[in-house]
Amino acid sequence: MPADRGGPKSTRDEFDMVKGRFDRAGWWCTRIVWLISAVSLLCAIGVWFSWQQDEVVLRQWTEVIIKDLHADSARIRAINDWVHRNKGFAKNDRYFIMPVLGPTPIQVMEQGGDCSDKSRLVTAMLKSISINAGLVMISPCLDCGFIHTVVEAEYESGRMVVIQPGISTIQPETASPK
């Protein structure tokens, strides 16, 4: 009779031993997935709160800039002029989460930026006062990269205007007060 070496005594015992290993591995995997999910949720909540705080600061600055201005065209001109004069025109190297996302509007307010950075700031400021605005990226040909960014805004019953914060112009010029 062979000596008992402490191993499984039957195929069933062997199956139970392997199943136990998988159960323990599954338990750990489940815990790790829950931990990653919880951390991701907390990060998302933190980003949302940061965004809310930025929105409040942006709105407050915008209100100061447009104080006593009632026409959308005058507000657009005032915001564009302020952004154009604010800080410098060098590309802002700060970014939100990943470099490809570029700087936030608050970061552009604090340090300035190039045409795309300043266009994002103008767009955010206009949206904070309920003026519909968006970015327009310009390229010289279909296969070329983008070389310039401007803002397109809708104001006063659907009229459209193109805003270039980098050079402080608004097109059509008749849309803005002199």
Domain boundaries, the chain: 33-175
pLDDT at position 167 over 50: yes
Residue 174 confidence (pLDDT): 47
Nearest C-alpha neighbor of 54 from the set 121, 102, 106, 127: 106
Polymer length of the chain: 178
Highest mean pLDDT: which range of 9-13, 22-26, 33-37, 153-157: 33-37
Residue 46 confidence (pLDDT): 87
Residue 6 confidence (pLDDT): 57
Q: How far apart are alpha carbons 31 and 94 in whole angstroms?
A: 35
Residue 108 confidence (pLDDT): 93
Residue 35 confidence (pLDDT): 92
C-alpha distances (whole Å) from 99 to each of 20, 44, 94, 96, 145 are: 46, 18, 8, 7, 18
Average pLDDT in the 151-158 region? 88
Range from 19-33, 69-83, 90-104, 136-150 carrying the lowest mean pLDDT: 19-33
Bridging pattern class, strands 169-171 and 148-155: unpaired
Share of the chain above pLDDT 70, in %: 84
Residue 177 confidence (pLDDT): 46
Class of domain 33-175: alpha beta
Average pLDDT in the 85-96 region? 86
List, for residues 109-128, the tens digit of each pLDDT value: 999 999 899 999 999 999 99
Residue 16 confidence (pLDDT): 67
C-alpha distances (whole Å) from 178 to each of 26, 74, 78, 164, 166 are: 70, 9, 11, 17, 19
Single-letter amino acid, residue 136: V
pLDDT at position 84 over 80: yes
Q: Is it true that the peptide bond before 105 is cis, omega within 30 degrees of 0?
A: no
Categorize the per-residue pLDDT at 79 as very low, low, confident or very high, splitting at 50, 70 and 90.
Answer: very high
Range from 95-99, 101-105, 112-116 carrying the lowest mean pLDDT: 95-99
Residue 19 confidence (pLDDT): 64
